[in-house]
Amino acid sequence: MSLLKSKQAIGILALSNGLSQSQYQPLCQLEQVLAKMGLSMIWPPSLFVKESVYHAKDEVRAEILMEFYKNPDIHAIFDVSGGDLANGVLPYLDYEWIKNHPKPFFGYSDLSVVLNALYAKTGHPTYLYQIRNLVGARSKDQQQWFYESLLSQEKSLFEFPFKWIQGEVMEGVVVGGNIRCFLKLAGTEYWPSVKGKLLLLEAYSGDVAKMATYLNQYKQLGVFNEIDGLILGHFTQMQKTEEVPDIVTLVQQIVGNPKLPIIKTDAIGHGADAKCVMIGGKYKFKNQEVALSHVDTSAKKPLWNMYPQC
């Protein structure tokens, strides 16, 4: 069953930092690309920065998300932001409504906090993916993967190459995302249980010192003793500048458990070629194959209406 169908609408919003005005034209291009797929785009005026990255108060951004969940015309929700502000909306969301009226929710980077909070509070999976990739440097590939996987029955957007660092097989539900942002949930009611899970970690910025700090905090939280496997995505700055030690060596040193299965992939993260991972989706990695269990994300229809701007 595909997540979307032709003639449906998707909601676009920014729960983290507001977008610069330079992003207005790319969003209009995105709207045109989606229109060719038979999809329409609904987005609020409060996407863009005016005087501050606080383009809208925490309560207002949360209200927009809830309105999207309650809008019967919106069938999936895509966040187009990143930065630092997303966790501010968490106390203002109606998780009971979302649990009873689920819709596919997509975002990346700082949206790791919302993706994992929604999964932790509702049990429904979410999607680590940035829809702006459809008009990025790898737009042709991304548009093909998006159409095949979200409007058809293929899985190309969810399939990604990887290599084994330790172990030969691992299976479980994936949690995590951006290494720094996911840590913001530690000690809160929005932190999903990591026991028996596969932890995904990736990063855009950050040198060896920052990665070591984050990894040690995960270790001191006991995370590496509870998980059943570790997925290392793309660590953009570290890999671009060829930091020493590299991220794989650093992880092995700090985790200190040669029995913990670990894989590495450059196809999950902030790159223009990034694929999609389900937070709360069950995966099995064996040999060089990844299998994702099907999850029915069909939603009941809720109440409200907004209109596109381009």
Number of domains, the chain: 2
Amino acid, res. 18: G
| pLDDT (0 to 100) of residue 94 | 98
Is 92 within a domain? Answer: yes
Domain membership flag for residue 2: no
Tally helices (H) and strands (E) across the chain: 10, 13
The SS3 assignment for 217 reads helix
- Give residue 289's pLDDT: 79
Structural domain of residue 232, as residue ranges? 163-292
| Cα–Cα distances in angstroms (integers) from residue 232 to residues 75, 204, 215, 255, 263, in the given order | 31, 13, 12, 13, 6
Which of 127, 156, 185 represents a domain boundary (last residue)? 156
Tell me, yes or no, whether 144 and 173 share the same domain: no
Last residue of a domain, one of 131, 156, 181: 156
- The torsion defined by the Cα of 288, 293, 294 and 295, in degrees rounded to 10, comes to -130
Quick one: DSSP state of residue 285? E
Q: Are residues 99 and 169 in the same domain?
A: no
What pLDDT score was predicted for residue 297?
A: 39
Are residues 202 and 279 both part of a single domain? yes
Q: Is 200 helix (H, G, I), strand (E, B) or coil?
A: strand
Q: Are residues 82 and 179 in the same domain?
A: no
Asked if residue 145 and residue 236 are part of one domain, the reply reads no
Nearest to 128 by CA among 73, 78, 197, 53: 78
**Statement to judge: residues 184 and 272 lie in one domain:** yes
The verdict on 173 and 98 lying in the same domain is no
**What is the predicted pLDDT for the residue at 304?**
26
**What pLDDT is attached to residue 1?**
57
Residues 151 and 190 in one domain: no
- Which among 125, 156, 187 is the end of a domain? 156
**What CATH number did the domain enclosing 231 receive?**
3.50.30.60
With 0-12 CB in 10 A as exposed, 13-18 as middle and 19+ as buried, what is 248?
A: middle
Asked if the structure places residue 300 within a domain, the reply is no
The confidence score (pLDDT) of residue 294 equals 52
Which segments in the chain show pLDDT lower than 50?
295-310
